[in-house]
Structures are given as structure tokens and as C-alpha cells.
Structure 1
């Protein structure tokens, strides 16, 4: 993709422009995915307090990483929690009910991210995972969650349909705020139907979790979490930066820093941190500032806004915990529809690999477990085997 021309300095551009862009990026990024993060942590055994701790530390660390890296390199380098990773945790429900074992998988993911940052060979290898397989795996993980709005509309129509309608109206009138509107609508419904919520603990607390290691869970959750975080967040995050003309981001430093934050955060319930993709487009594009050299201010403000939002983690966790799981997954499904569309398009873009992508997608979406190992890992394995079988020894088409 051709590099966008460097914007000339725009003296008329207001300093308010990058500030507004940064605040909007933080609010939209948090509200679009906090529900799926809490649901994912709860699915692998976290108590409400542990899930709240994980959400709090994820929000704080992504804010600190964004502030430090943007200020250090004067580029709009934004970080976020792994939304595909949280979706993976929801899909892995039943793999383990012991949160300590899940934390061991989070720790493994963080270590692998650090190694990726300091070992160039591993970084090159991860970025060369065939796109059809990686995208199809992500699509298979997202599909059950994106079906949740349909199930919720049937099972809880009085609660789910208003949120879906608000989302649909705003998708036409103000797309950026569509998910926030659905969250607000669902929140009103939950508060109205759960009067005991007023007595819930609304302030977040940190909960230390000593990790435990189960080989099956490390393979079922730890390795797929690393793969979807790399393929679903880090690779697109670098692509967004390069699209807007930042050709030399400190890639190894960013990967190592997010991995180190994941390692530390895992002891407090955090699953994975990575480069931002959607928020990166808001703070690295011309909406943040006409002058590319000043867009780092938007990322810096975004990081500060995350620190301001972080104390809401306790209330957000209480809200999710008080609601019917299908309603929370419905809101998360609305937020992830765009990611599902992108994953499906990327998976089936190349006609020669569509069968490989379809097989990978079906294995992951089926949610199977073999030998105690989850579907995401088997999707990668089966997709890789099918691709090798169809490619090895096959002559190139002369046409």
C-alpha cells in the first residue's frame, strides 16, 4: 500500500483535535470490549474480584504503555488488551475451572511475546503464519460470540432487543458510538432488573493469583492466546502504523514491552496486552491531527484517559457479573461483528486457500476438545496439515 504523503504543518489545527481524538479512542476502546474481557476471565474460573483485578490491571498497563512509548518515540504508539484473546477465553469455557491454571497460560503467552520481541527469528516466523489459517482461526473463535445477539433476542427479548435496536440506529447515524449506545442500553436494563446491584462492590481491588501449570491448558489456551494476539492484534497494529506513514515503529521494543507487561499483569489476572489496532487507527490517522508528527499527542492523551477510566473496572465487573451471560455476550457480539467480518474476508480472500481456511474455521467453530486440548489449537494443526497436503509437490499453474 502506498505511503500517505507527509502532511504539511497546519498552524490552524487546534490542540483540541488530538485531545478529543485520544479521549474518543480510549472511551470507544474500553466500552467496546470490557464486557468480553470480564466474560472471558470468568469463563476460565476467575471470581468477580479476580476478573475485576484483571480488567483494572489491563486498563492501567495499556494506559502506561501508551503514555511511555508515545512520549519516548514521538509516534502514536497505542496499546490495548487482547480482544481476540478474551474471545478465545470465552470459547475455551470448560477447558479449566481453576483460574490459577489459566493464569499459567497467560504467563506463557507473555513470555512468548517477550521472546518474540528479543528474538527476530520468532517475530518473522509468527508474521509468516499463513493468513488464511490465522484469520480462519480467529473467525471460528468469534463466530459463537457473534451469534449471541441472536440467542439473546430470543431468550431475553425485553433486555436484548432494545440494545440491538440502539446499536442499529447509531450504526447508521453515529457508527463510532454504536457499541457505546448498546452498552448503555444493556446497563440500564441490568440495573433496572437487578436491584441488589446497588450493594455490589464498585471499587476495583487487586487480587494476586499464583499461577499453576497444566500442560493441556498451556497448549489449549496459552499457545492459541499467543497466536491470536500476534495475528489478530500485533500484526494489524503494525499494519495500521505503516498505513499512516510510520514506517519505522520500534517493533521489537513494543512487543517486548507488551510481553513484559503481560507477564507482570498475569499475576493480577490480566490475560494479554498488545498493540492496538482499532484505537491505533483513531490516534494515528488524520482525524488526530493534520500533521503526522503531532499525532503522538492523541496517543498520549488516550493513555491518560485509560488511567482515568481504570477505576470503573470494579463497577464494570459487577455489572457483567450481575447480568445473564447471554446478554453480556450479546453486547460483546455486537462489538465484535466488525472483527468477524474482517477475519472472514481475510481468510477467504485467496481462492487457492479457501478450502484450507474453511477447514480451519469449521474445526475451531465446532468447539471440539481432543485429549483435553481445545479447538483453537486443533484448528491450527488441521489447517496446517491440509495446507501442506495440498501444496507440497504441486506444480505452479503456468497461467
Structure 2
């Protein structure tokens, strides 16, 4: 098994795993810190949160990707963290931990019931692909908005990508990362002077349960994580050709990881969508059967984040935003293209897929639920109406 893993691994899959973790951590860690601060967490406790989250994501990425031989990438719930940043103000940490445990228990029970898997398997591939394209298109656009603000850095990365795709397609993103990092260093955009390395120290908080907090924090956390994170995560796997991965055990596994790590700050784990797309796309590896090693690589890098906690987060935070945004966008170009192709391949479902894409890409949010969910609802409704009209 280990020999097979080494044989299937490549520089491109390891690079995809690293880019996924870099993009995931650097783009949303500030929201996690805000959520922790809202609950009154100290600096040491915030480091414990990052340690627990890194450990949970690392272990689940490695276990699922290894077992299913598919790039199954997990993440913390970014929309959930945004919800917590506003809803935890004035709530004692012990009550907050109790709400996290309630959300984790609901996730575990939903996964064990098999209901979530049955629902998501009814989503047509063109609709799932359109939703994925709508989620990712903003990252593609960020390449050129970043080009406007930092033309030298982003221009060099874009040129490297084009030349790499022409002559060294498997290593294009690796070259982009190398050029982006080197140029950022030369331009003085990266500063390591204030970094202090220290391992994470887990801090246990005994949960307390209060009905108002369970219903006001735990239940919304569960709903937001399911609708805004897990449904797009499933769509990513389906649209990338990994429909064979059973969703119920994965959802159950993320719920179990949350139950075990919540007292240390692991508030919610779920299937990733954006960072998963980096590992499931053609840039990770030309052979879809070998891309699972990108998921394992992401897990290893997440474990490093967990072991060093806030120190690694601080390291990632030193990278300029233009580098992160452009790197993510370039790494996702292939996936955006294949998702759009799959979404519009069937004439009968093309309009419904485009409605899904447009609603999702709009970023519209209603009742605290993100655009991906409403894009899916609008697309499925349109799909049903058009099918009724053609029957």
C-alpha cells in the first residue's frame, strides 16, 4: 500500500495539496479568529482552535482519500465561522462548545441515516457542475482584478502559467508558485521578521448545554454547514468524476471528528469545495485515479498546520493577497472549464444549468444561506419545469 502511494504520488499532486491548504488557511483563517474572539477565547485558546481544526482536517483528508482512492478534501466551516463571529458575542465559551457538540451530533446522525447521500444523488450532473462553476468563477476573475492592483507579480505568474501549460503542463502550478513566491520575496512583499515558532497546546473546555444556545447557535451552524459547505463539496466530487465515493460515511466521519475535537476548538468539519477542486482538477494530475495523493498531501500539510497552530497561520498570512488570489484562480482554471463544459453539454438541461450558474455566481444570500444553495434550488426548479414542458 505504501509503495503504491509513493508510486502514485508526484510533484504536481503534492503541489496541489500544498496550494489547497495555503488557499484554504490564508483566505479564511481571519474569520476563524473572529469567531474565537467572539466567544472570548484567549490567544492560547485561539491557537488550540487552529490546532484542533488542523488535526481534524488532516486526519480526515488522509483517511478518506486513502480509503476511497479519491481526493476527498475536508475543511473547517468558513460560513459557520462567519455565523459564529456574530452569534457568539456574550455567550460563555462552555455554552458555545455545547452548541458545537450539538451541531456535530446532528451531522453524525444525518450521515448515519443516509438521507443526505440519497438527496444529493438526485442532483443531475449538469446542475452540480453549474453550481461548482458558479462557486469557482470568482476565483478565476480574481486573477485579473489582482492583475490591476499588482501588475508585476500577477503578470509574471500569468505568463508563467501560460508558458507552463504550453510546455510543462503537469508542473505549471508548481512553476507559478515558485515564481510568485520568489518575486514576492524580491519585491519585499513577504515579511518573516515577526514570526515566532511554537507548537500548539490543546486546551480542553468542558461543554455546558443551554437550550437557547443549542437552538440559536448549534442548529444554525449545522444548517449553514450542510447547505453552504457540504452540498457544494458533494457537487465538487460528482462534477469531477468521483461519484463512486459514498457520501454518508464521509459526512458521518466529519461529524465524528467534530464530536471528538470540539472541546479543543474544532467547531465544525465538512467536505471542501474550492480547495477540493484544486486537488480534483487536471492540474493535480493527468490521471484521475492518482489524484487521491493530492488529498493525502493536503492532509499532511493540514497536520503541520495543526501541530504548529498559530505559527503556521502567521506564516501563511505573510503571503500577499494578490499571490493567494492569483494562485487559486490559476489552479482552478481547468476545473472551471471542465465544469462549464459538463454543465452545458446537454441541450435539454442547458438553460437550467445556466440559471444555476448565474444565481451561484451572483453571491446572493437570503435568510443567512449562501448563493450556492439558492443556485441549486433555482436550477433544480428550472430543470423540473423544462422537463415538464418537454414531456
Structure 2 length-normalised TM: 0.70
**Number of residues paired by the alignment?**
360
Partner of 2:363: 367
Structure 1: distance between partners of 2:300 and 2:343: 34
- Describe the SS at the equivalent of 1:197: coil
Contact (CA 8 Å) 2:75, 2:271: kept in 1 or not? yes
Decide which moves more: 347-356 or 253-262: 253-262
Match of 1:137 in 2: 131
What is the Cα deviation at residue 286 of structure 1? Answer: 9.7
Q: 1:172 to 1:269 in 2, by over 3 A?
A: farther
Give matches, 1:214-363, under 5 Å.
Answer: 222-233=226-237, 236=240, 238-239=242-243, 252-262=248-258, 264=260, 267-268=265-266, 271-273=269-271, 278=279, 306=301, 309-310=304-305, 317-363=313-359
Cα deviation for residue 345 of structure 1 reads: 1.8
How far residue 227 of structure 1 moved from its aligned partner, in angstroms, is 0.4
Q: How does 1:85-100 map to 2 (within 5 A)?
A: 97-98=85-86
CA distance in 2, matches of 1:175, 1:225: 30
Report what 2:194 is aligned to: 199
Query: Is there any run of 5+ residues in structure 1 with no aligned partner, and where?
Result: 1-14, 243-248, 289-294
The CA deviation string for residues 154-193 of structure 1, in whole angstroms up to 9 with x for no partner, is 1101222222222333223333332232223332344442
Q: CA RMSD in A?
A: 4.8
1:64 aligns with 2:59: yes
Q: Which moved more, 1:257-266 or 1:270-279?
A: 270-279
Displacement of 1:97 in angstroms is 4.8
* Structure 2 segments unaligned to the other structure (5+ residues): 37-42, 90-95, 208-212
| 2-structure distance, mates of 1:390, 1:332 | 35
Equivalent position SS for 2:73: strand
Of 31, 51, 76, the residue aligned with 2:69 is 76
Q: Is 2:168 aligned against 1:170?
A: no
Separation of aligned partners in 2, 1:391 and 1:362: 20
1:9 is aligned to none
How big is the shift at 1:388? 2.9
Q: Structure 1-normalised TM-score? A: 0.69
In 2: Cα distance, 1:284 partner to 1:175 partner: 9
The equivalent position to 1:387 in structure 2, one of 373, 383, 389, is 383
Work out the CA distance in 1 between the residues paired with 2:363 and 2:352: 18
Q: Partners of 2:119 and 2:377 in 1: how far apart?
A: 16
Displacement of 1:320 in angstroms is 3.9
